[in-house]
Amino acid sequence: MLRSLHAIPGLIAAVLVMLLAISGATLALNPALEHLHTPQPAAGQVSVGQLAGRLAAHLQGVERIQRTPSGTLIVYHSQDGQAVASSVDPLTGEVLAPYAPSSFSRWVKELHRSLFLGTAGHGVTALGALALLLLSISGASLLARRAGGWGKLLRPLRGNFSQRWHAELGRLATLGLLLSALSGLYLAASTFGLIAEGSQSEPALPSALSTGPALPVANLPALQALDLNDLRELVYPADPQDLYALRTTAGEGYVDPASGALLSFQPYDATHHAYALLYQLHTGEGLWWLGLLLGSCALSVPFMSITGLLLWWRRRRADTPIRDNSPARSADCIILVGSENHSTWGFARTLQQTLVAAGRKVHSAPMNQLQSNYPMARELLILSATHGDGDAPASASGFLSRLGQHPLAPELKFAVLGFGDRQFPRFCGFAEQVQTALAASGAQPLLPLDTINRQSPQEFQRWGRALGQTLGLELDLQHQAEALPSHCLELVESVAYGAQVQAPTQILRFKAPTDRSGQALPEFQAGDLVGILPPGGQQPRFYSLASSRADGVLEICVRKHPGGLCSGFLHDLQPGARIQGFIQPNPQFRPLLGAQPVILIGAGTGIGPLAGFIRGNRARQPMHLYWGGRDPASDFLYEPELKGYLADQRLTALRAAFSQVQEHFYVQDRLLADALAVRRLMEKGAQVLVCGSRDMAKGVMQALDEVLAPLNLSVLTLKAQGRYREDVY
């Protein structure tokens, strides 16, 4: 429901909201430009009387003085018998330039207010402001749900480019957009008479005036007592014996030309002040810095609209109905899917198609469509992602409550497969809740809870084999994600390590083929992944990149595994050989920018992206590398490069552990030995990046928990703060 409240107004009003945002951002520049080009007297520095006296020395036939909320002084006067308007210096009274309102600003303002459609246009723009309000509120709620609560809105966000930047910009701009939308709706309501502006009739003309000659305007006590910053308009009398009309920030009245007294002053009421404040908050007039902030927030709207449409389109594509979906009443196997961005549905389709091919009747549906009775079903298979900090994804938000109301039949056995990212503290937390709730309801598990990290096809295939053994079927779940554009890569260099310690490893460097005109390496960063499909293989293998495109090569570090189809293929390549690969961005595994230290931890080929981070550390951010190998004489990966990085200070410290030199001494043992130094780095706000095998990463987590205990920190806390990130396999 919440996602629909966010998506529907965005889809309907996308063009209108973008148009209002762009025109509003353009208008928001005006107060800042006025402030920049107009001298601004301090409070109490210049009175209206002083200004009037200075004007009298420079201008003839002054008729009216007007001060805009942003400080521009406009004087209407005569020059050579012609009525003219001039912008003047409030400190000297000298003319700065002829005053002519910008035709472009008038055009943009009319576009922003009414789309050049008059009264009907005001109604349309009001609907645009309402849509922006709904988008801001629903977007903030979705963001809070994704982050795990309102108190965690500042946590680092992850996801693909569109997801991450849509949310990041929303987080930065929400308050400004809320203010713009609310104030815009208020002004629109006042335009249609639904809210009073506080406008009132002019103050009554005084019945009697002072006798005697008119004083020079500079000597009028009422004008001498009025600070220039409080002036809005002073209208000179056509006859010297007539009254001056005065309008200030506080109200309106008249000034007696003979006595200089303020007559019939009528203060503005609270409604007028409220309207003036809302107008100022919406336009930034008089608050130039606020105008710039609101304009910056408005400029995020076009980008968020585009990324939002991309996200919607991807979900629509993922909503393609599953083929061979049997009715729930006749299916012998039920698949329920919990998905936030619909990527889990791809795995559900693969599972359903494989089961159907094996002769089963399968019904697939969102978890929110759990039914109280499946007459023919024997198994319930649940594939669920986790949203935010252990929360239910969109299509499973009502599952637990439905389960409480409609327990499963005892003969229906279940299996839960969780999808998530180990970067998050509550990895597959919702899947764990589902497993616990199903067991508490009395249902019998078909398999123990299992999890898939970062949508790994290999882990899904492994789970499928376990499921098939339980069902007595041969299940080979060959899931292929949406194909990414592949690129031709030519091997230009390979460096071999590790043969003497039975860990053959190569550093492979590729470039774009030189004989293909105009072809270049794709965009990538160190820490991203390259997918390679080996000859005869059905699933791509992913390798962490040890370089960025700026380095001029695509570099990977590959250990040859016994019987490894892709690693064997890559190790057999000779310089000049060509392969096809595609880039899978991995933006969550990157060093944070700034001056805080970075602790890089890895073992074996896990050094690849870590070496890439060090290579790209041209700002000399403190980087400390902890790495584990077997023997420095055989598999000290990147040894020449690391020594060079130490020399030029891209690498601050290198702490290596070699298990065959000092028996059973691994990288986690090196961390324990350096506990004091590690704690000092963590006290400085250090970020930790870990790359390597799952067993190594588990040992590192245990060691760091022990090291950090005196600081009342843990790896779980660091993950919640975005200071601990992994790329494990």
CATH code: domain of residue 350:
3.40.50.360
Number of structural domains the chain divides into: 5
Q: Assess whether pLDDT exceeds 80 at residue 7.
A: no
Residue predicted with more confidence, 686 or 313: 686
* Claim to verify: residue 615 and residue 692 sit in the same structural domain: yes
Is the domain of 703 the same as that of 608?
A: yes
Q: Of the residues 471, 503, 537, which one is the last residue of a structural domain?
A: 471
**DSSP β-bridge partners for residue 531:** 542, 582
Instruction: Identify the sign of the CA torsion 42, 46, 52, 56.
Output: negative
27 occurs within a structural domain? yes
Q: What angle do CA 695, 700, 705 make, to 5 degrees?
A: 130
Q: What is the pLDDT of residue 146?
A: 62
DSSP code of 286?
A: T
**With pLDDT > 90 as the criterion, what percentage of the chain qualifies?**
51
Residue 96 lies in a domain: no
- pLDDT (0 to 100) of residue 405: 81
The yes-or-no verdict on residue 241 having pLDDT over 80 is yes
Strands 450-453 and 486-497, by their bridges, are unpaired
Q: Provide the pLDDT for residue 152.
A: 66
Instruction: Tell me the mean pLDDT in the region 383-402.
Output: 82
pTM across the whole model = 0.55
Residue 4 is predicted with a pLDDT of 55
Q: At what angle do helices 161-191 and 270-283 cross, to 10 degrees?
A: 150
The CATH number of the domain holding residue 533 is 2.40.30.10
Least confident among 454-468, 516-530, 682-696: 516-530
CA angle at 304 for the pair 299 and 310, rounded to the nearest 5°: 145
Q: Which amino acid is at 138?
A: S
Please check whether residue 411 lies inside any domain of the structure.
yes
pLDDT of 423-469, one tens digit each? 666 789 999 999 999 998 888 999 999 999 878 888 999 999 999 99
**pLDDT per residue as tens digits for the range 278-327:** 999 999 898 888 889 988 998 888 888 887 777 767 666 555 557 779 99
**pLDDT band with cut points at 50, 70 and 90 for residue 615:** very high
Count helices and strands (H / E) in the chain: 19, 25
Of all helices (H) and strands (E), which one includes residue 380? strand 379-385
Separation CA 51–CA 670 (nearest Å): 75
pLDDT computed for residue 361 by the predictor? 95
Tokens 């005001």: give the residue: 122
Residue 658's contacts (CB-CB under 8 Å, 6 or more residues apart) are: 628, 629, 630, 631, 632, 636, 665
Average pLDDT over residues 232-239: 92
Give the structural domain span for 111: 2-36+105-197+277-312
Does 67 share its domain with 9? Answer: no
Instruction: For residue range 532-587, list pLDDT tens digits in order.
Output: 988 877 678 889 999 999 999 999 999 998 888 899 999 999 999 999 999 988 87
Same domain, yes or no, for 369 and 398? yes
Contacts of 67 (CB under 8 A, 6+ apart): 73, 74, 228, 231, 232, 233
Decide if pLDDT at 35 tops 90.
no
Contacts of 22 (CB under 8 A, 6+ apart): 298, 299, 301, 302
Region 5-27 average pLDDT? 77
Q: Please tell me the predicted confidence (pLDDT) of residue 382.
A: 96
Residues 148 and 231 in one domain: no
CA atoms within 13 A on the CB side of 285: 14
pLDDT of residue 456: 84
* 160-215 per-position pLDDT tens digit: 556 667 778 888 888 999 999 999 999 988 888 888 876 566 788 887 778 888 89
Both structure tokens of 722: 């975005």
Burial string for 182-210 (b: 16+ CB within 10 Å, else e) reads: bbbbbbbebbeeebebeeeeebeeeeebe
The closest of 551, 483, 558, 544 to 523, measured between CA atoms, is 551
Per-residue model confidence (pLDDT) at position 148? 57
Q: Which of 436, 471, 506 corresponds to the end of one domain?
A: 471
User: Who contacts 297 (Cβ-Cβ below 8 Å, separation ≥6)?
Assistant: 172, 173, 175, 176, 177, 180
| Residues present in the chain in total | 729
Average pLDDT, the chain: 88
- Least confident range from 63-67, 144-148, 511-515: namely 144-148
336's CB contacts (< 8 A; 6+ apart) are: 364, 365, 366, 367, 369, 370, 380, 381, 382, 383, 384, 399
The residue among 385, 374, 369 whose CA lies nearest residue 419 is 385
378 DSSP 8-state letter: -
| Residue 325 shares a structural domain with residue 393 | yes
Residue 47 reports pLDDT greater than 90 = yes
Residues 351 and 411 in one domain: yes
Q: What integer is the mean pLDDT of 408-430?
A: 85
User: Is residue 593 domain-resident?
Assistant: no
CA distance 580 to 601: 30
* Shared-domain flag, residues 453 and 364: yes
458: three-class secondary structure by DSSP: helix
In a domain, 481, yes or no: no
**pLDDT at 230 > cutoff 90:** yes
pLDDT at position 260 over 80: yes
One domain for residues 188 and 250: no
Same domain, yes or no: 640 and 723? yes
The answer on 699 and 656 residing in a single domain is yes
- For residue 147, the model assigns a pLDDT of 61
* Within a domain: 97: no
**C-alpha to C-alpha distance for 412 and 66, rounded to whole angstroms:** 81
Under 8 Å between Cβ of 302 and 18: yes
pLDDT digits (tens, 9 = 90+) for 126-158: 888 888 888 888 888 877 766 656 776 666 555
CATH of the domain at 633: 3.40.50.80
Give 710's pLDDT tier (boundaries 50, 70, 90): very high
Over 70: is that where the pLDDT of 92 sits? yes
Q: Are 610 and 650 in contact (CB under 8 A)?
A: no
- The residue out of 294, 312, 330 marking a domain boundary is 312
Quick check: is 332 in a domain? yes
Would 477 be classed as within a structural domain?
no
Question: 638 and 683: one domain?
Answer: yes
pLDDT the model gives residue 644 = 96
State the amino acid at position 651 in one-letter form: L
pLDDT over 60 (residue 416): yes
